[in-house]
Amino acid sequence: MKDLLRKYSGPFSGMFAHWIQRSTGLLLLFYLFLHVRTIYALSQGPAAFDRAVGQFRGPFFKLLEIALLGAVILHALNGVRITLLDLGLPHQRQRRLFWTWSIGLGALIFLAGAIPLFLSSVLRR
């Protein structure tokens, strides 16, 4: 019983990964709404579109874009983890897989994308 409680409660259980998946999923859906809203300006001609994307050129939005990259990577890698578990990967490994695959590998890919993005679009060097 104690083991079970430890396994299924607290921040380090599969529940944590589940909440991450749901919250990043909703955030990405909200982003898709903003994205289509901006892209729709394409139908109003070049001036309207360049004005629409121009809103997002400041360093603040570039930082949000880097955060978006993080949310995408977390959601995608964790989604692959869920699919692999569904396909038959042993469930005893689900937690370790979360920390090594979703968080560990995710952090590496995130840094590989975030550092160049930060240098080129936030600092503009």
Partner 1 sequence: MPAFWWYLQRLTGAALALLLIVHFWVEHFVSENLRRGDLTYDAIRTRISNPLWQTIDIAFLLIALLHGLSGARNILLDYSRIGRRGARIATAGFIVVGAVWAWWGIEAFKDLR
What interhelical angle do 59-86 and 106-117 show, nearest 10?
A: 160
Smallest gap, in angstroms, from Cβ of residue 11 to partner 1? 20
Kindly indicate which of the ranges 4-12, 78-86, 92-100 contains the residues binding partner 1, using the contact rule CB under 8 A. 78-86
User: In Å, what is the CA distance from 15 to each residue of 44, 52, 58?
Assistant: 45, 39, 36
Determine if 14 is a binding residue for partner 1 (CB under 8 A).
no
Determine the Cα–Cα distance for residues 64 and 68; give it in Å rounded to an integer: 6
Helix H, strand E, coil C: the string for 64-98 is HHHHHHHHHHHHHHHHHHHHHHHCCCCHHHHHHHH
Residues touching partner 1: how many (CB under 8 A)? 33
Site for partner 1 in 25-54 (CB under 8 A): 25-26, 28-29, 32-33, 36, 39-43, 45-46, 49-50, 53
The binding site for partner 1 (CB under 8 A) comprises 22, 25-26, 28-29, 32-33, 36, 39-43, 45-46, 49-50, 53, 57, 62, 65, 72, 76, 79-80, 82-83, 86, 116-117, 120-121, 124
